[in-house]
């Protein structure tokens, strides 16, 4: 039995935006859904799901569509600048303790 992916409302909006952006990119390039699906090695139904922002489609299929559209470099930007993670990491770093000062040569 396949697990069902449950997204928060915000995550759903983001996935929907991604799908819309991919569809707009396809239309700007004047490519048909059939052309993209064939070049990406996916079915037309899968492309339709991607363009709707479906969370049940494999990430690899999304990547293939990005690749066909010439947008594969966008994929590399995902989580590239993890500013929150860096801040959390910095909070966990402890400054080195200094050695006690030496008194003069007594």
CATH number at residue 32: 1.10.260.40
The number of CA neighbours under 13 Å toward the Cβ of 54 is 14
Q: How far apart are CA 20 and CA 6, in angstroms?
A: 20
Q: Which long-range contacts (CB under 8 A, 24 or more apart) does 37-41 make?
A: 39/68, 40/64, 40/65, 40/67, 40/68
Residue 65 lies in a domain: yes
Residue-range definition of the domain harbouring residue 32: 9-76
29-62 per-position pLDDT tens digit: 999 999 999 999 999 999 999 999 999 999 999 9
Q: How far apart are CA 91 and CA 97, in angstroms?
A: 16
Q: Helix or strand or coil: residue 65? A: helix
58-84 per-position pLDDT tens digit: 999 999 999 999 999 988 888 788 888
Residue 55 lies in a domain: yes
- Does pTM surpass 0.85? no
Q: What is the tally of structural domains in the chain?
A: 1
Residue 1 lies in a domain: no
Residue 82 lies in a domain: no
Residue 35 is predicted with a pLDDT of 97
Residue 65 is predicted with a pLDDT of 97
Residue 106 lies in a domain: no
Residue 103 lies in a domain: no
Residue 56 lies in a domain: yes
């Amino acid at each position: 039995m396949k697990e069902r992916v449950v997204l928060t409302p915000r995550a759903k909006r983001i996935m929907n935006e991604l799908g819309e952006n991919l569809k707009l990119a396809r239309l700007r390039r004047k490519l048909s859904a059939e052309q993209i699906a064939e070049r990406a090695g996916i079915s037309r139904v899968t492309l339709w799901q991607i363009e709707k922002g479906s969370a049940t489609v494999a990430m690899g299929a999304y990547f293939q569509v990005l690749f066909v559209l010439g947008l594969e470099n966008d994929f590399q930007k995902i989580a590239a600048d993890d500013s929150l993670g860096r801040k959390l990491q910095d909070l966990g770093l402890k400054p080195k303790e200094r050695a006690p000062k030496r008194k003069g040569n007594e």
